[in-house]
Amino acid sequence: MRKQDSAALKLFLSGLGGRLQENRDYFKEIQFIFLSGRKRFEGRVTRMEGDSLCVAYGGQKQTLDYDAFITFYLAEALRYECATLEYLERGATVIVEADGRGVRMRQTDTKRTEEAQASSVLPDREYIIKANEAPELLKAIGIMAPDGKIRNNMIRKYNQIDHFIELVRPMLEEDDSETITVLDCGCGKSYLSFVLNYFIREVLHRRCQVTGVDIAPGVIEASRRTAEQLGYANMEFICADLREYRANHPSMVISLHACDTATDMAMGLAVRSGAKNIACVPCCHRELLDQLKFPGLEPILRHGVFAARFNDLFTDGLRVLKLESLGYRTSVVEYISPLDTPKNLLILAHKASDGNPDAAREYHGLLGRLGIYPAIERECALD
């Protein structure tokens, strides 16, 4: 940078100092880069208590007020060919550039930039959880990178979660509870828990309490840290066995790709807890594969792939019929493309009555004729 440009650069930086004082609650950070040939030297400034700033540069950190930072920055800028500073606050970014052509300052709209970045890699669909409106959430759960772009390896996950929200939205909008309570069974990394919490609070503007349950301590601890990072005090994560956990009339029980009988555990817990709504996406189906025998169909089912697919459909069909026998109104949809995952059936159920005798007769008639006792029957019968 030319020495004669120091005064102009100082003037711009001083103006940003006034902006920092006025908009201190919206300030995020300052990022700066010095260039010398092909070498880059990067730094970052974040706020501390009061007027103090933490300046990280060259592998060291120092605490400065803003005037001292200007002095530091001007001295460093003179040593390099080019200096670029980005002042980031909520909704806007101010960029100050200094090089051999002089000093320039410009402002960009952060929301429009994030929206453009996201749309450049996403399919042409209207998202409910929009990348430009929920960047902190999407970054915290790993779907969005720090630069505001949806990670390429997370686009499918983003689509799955958003479409799940789209399909369960009518259930949530019709729920007249003072507080909507959601129970995520086998929550894993809790993508759905966090996105549902955001949707209910920020989109529907309703009170909610979200609980994630999983038997793996590691994912529960990770989910607790994410909830703390996002400031979601209305969320809790519990390490427990679904067969032993107790809940009290949740508004909705959800489960995404719970393996084999874990889906039955989730549905059983929903039934025992008196859940209003159930939304489950089953995963693999192994339990009935060796039990099911269909006389006369052996020439077809002797092929393993046919037997496995028939078992998948039959297992989910029994689950739906069992829920109907208990008074749930059900529907089954393909919630995403089978190209994303073949495990793409979403079972939706809404408690409509105390029971359905016709469905109960059909269900128990099938169990008797086939001589089977499926996991959904066991789980719904647990005390």
Question: Mind listing the pLDDT tens digit for each residue in 321-354?
Answer: 999 999 999 999 987 766 666 677 899 999 999 9
Query: Residue 277 — pLDDT band, cuts 50, 70, 90?
Result: very high
Share the mean pLDDT of the chain: 88
Q: Which domains does the chain have, with CATH numbers?
A: 3-110 (no CATH), 155-381 (3.40.50.150)
pLDDT given at position 339: 60
* Long-range Cβ contacts of 93-101 (<8 Å, 24+ apart): 94/16, 94/19, 96/9, 96/12, 96/13, 96/16, 98/1, 98/5, 98/9, 99/1, 100/1, 100/2
Query: What average pLDDT does range 360-380 have in this prediction?
Result: 92
Q: Evaluate whether 348 touches 255 at the Cβ level (below 8 Å).
A: no
DSSP 201: I
Question: Mind listing the pLDDT tens digit for each residue in 161-182?
Answer: 999 999 999 999 999 999 999 9
Question: Mind listing the pLDDT tens digit for each residue in 17-67?
Answer: 888 887 777 788 999 999 987 788 999 999 876 778 999 998 888 999 999
pLDDT given at position 116: 43
Six token digits for residue 305: 């792939």
Q: What is the pTM of this model?
A: 0.66
Query: Quick one: CA dihedral 260, 152, 198, 175, positive or negative?
Result: negative
Query: Quick one: CA dihedral 277, 317, 285, 161, positive or negative?
Result: negative
Question: Mind listing the pLDDT tens digit for each residue in 224-274?
Answer: 999 999 999 999 999 999 999 999 999 999 998 888 889 999 999 999 999
Q: How far apart are CA 187 and CA 238, in angstroms?
A: 10
β pairing state of 60-64 and 53-57: antiparallel
Question: Mind listing the pLDDT tens digit for each residue in 130-149?
Answer: 999 999 999 999 999 998 99
